[in-house]
A and B are shown apart, each in its own frame.
Chain A
Amino acid sequence: EIVLTQSPGTLSLSPGERATLSCRASQSMTTNYLAWYQQKPGQAPRLLLYGASNRAPGIPDRFSGSGSGTDFTLTISRLEPEDFAVYYCHRCGNSPPYTFGPGTRLEIK
């Protein structure tokens, strides 16, 4: 079973800064199956990226993703106040388990 780890656990930045969030898989996985979600308090997760680098409809272009194999990155180029949230990576393949990473909390510095 592929285990996803995310780092850092918490990232403290200011609006306007660049955020780099990491997701590492315990073994190589298909890039097509890596998704990222944003979750704000009291809300359901929101799809940001699928296939590691494809933005979901309506997602601003300041969000980008990259990576392959075991290492994936979510980058937010210039943080807006509404970007402060928890971010999860997700292995969403054709078979279970559909593992989530533990999340990175992005907080205002």
Chain B
Amino acid sequence: QVRLVQSGAEVKSPGASVKISCKASGYNFKNLVIHWVRQAPGQGLEWMGWINGDNGNTKYSEKFQGRVIFTRDTSASTAYMEVYSLRSEGTAVYYCARRYSNYLYNWFDPWGQGTLVTVSS
């Protein structure tokens, strides 16, 4: 079964960038579509976008377009998200999740354990 393991917590200064990894195991990475979701402290879930593990195609939420970049390394079965020009609002837990899709249904499962990014001067 698919398992997603994310990199550890980060503390960054305002204006800095952060790169988070999401390593997949138990499945052919090229068959995965990995989505990224942000959760600010005490807040709900916010979809950020996705990357296709096979061809590297990406789609970004309008809110995050131009502020994040998704990449992947198929040899390492790992997806990455880099967030640029961090601001205090960027303090959040960032999750990766696999979007499962068949001819009828879609859902996000599994999820990574989350990566806390703290933006603080």
Query: A residues touching B (Cβ–Cβ < 8 Å)?
Result: 32-33, 35, 37, 39, 44-47, 50-51, 54, 56, 88, 90, 92-94, 96-103
Nearest chain B residue, comparing its CB with the CB of A1: B62
- Tell me the smallest distance from the CB of A6 to a CB of chain B, in Å: 9
The answer to whether the Cβ of B114 comes within 8 Å of any Cβ in the partner chain is yes
Distance from A59 Cβ to chain B, minimum over Cβ atoms (Å): 11
Q: Is B23 an interface residue (CB 8 A)?
A: no
Contacts of B113 in A (CB 8 A): 44
Min CB–CB distance A74 → chain B (angstroms)? 14
Least CB distance, A95 to chain B, in whole angstroms: 9
**Contact in complex: A32, B61 (CB < 8 Å):** no
- B43-73, CB under 8 A of A: which get 1 and which 0? 0111101100000000101100000000000
Q: How far is the CA of A88 from the CA of B65 in the complex (A)?
A: 24
A37, A54, A92 — which one has the most chain B CB atoms within 10 A of its CB?
A92
CB nearest neighbor in B for A51: B105
Q: How far is the CA of A75 from the CA of B21 in the complex (A)?
A: 36
Bound Cα distance from A45 to B95, whole angstroms:
9
Interface residues of B (CB under 8 A from A): 35, 37, 44-47, 49-50, 59, 61-62, 95, 97, 99, 101, 104-109, 111-114
CB < 8 Å neighbour of B108 from A35, A97, A102, A103: A35
Some 5 contacts from A to B, beta carbons below 8 A apart, are A45-B97, A45-B111, A90-B107, A100-B46, A102-B44
With A44-B114, A92-B99 known as contacts, the answer to whether A103 contacts B44 (CB < 8 A) is: yes
Known interface pairs A45-B95, A96-B59. Does A50 touch B107 (Cβ–Cβ under 8 Å)? yes
**A47→B107 contact, CB < 8 A:** yes
Chain A residues near B111 (CB-CB < 8 A): 44-46
Task: Assess A32 versus B35: contact at CB under 8 Å? Given A96-B61, A103-B44.
Answer: no
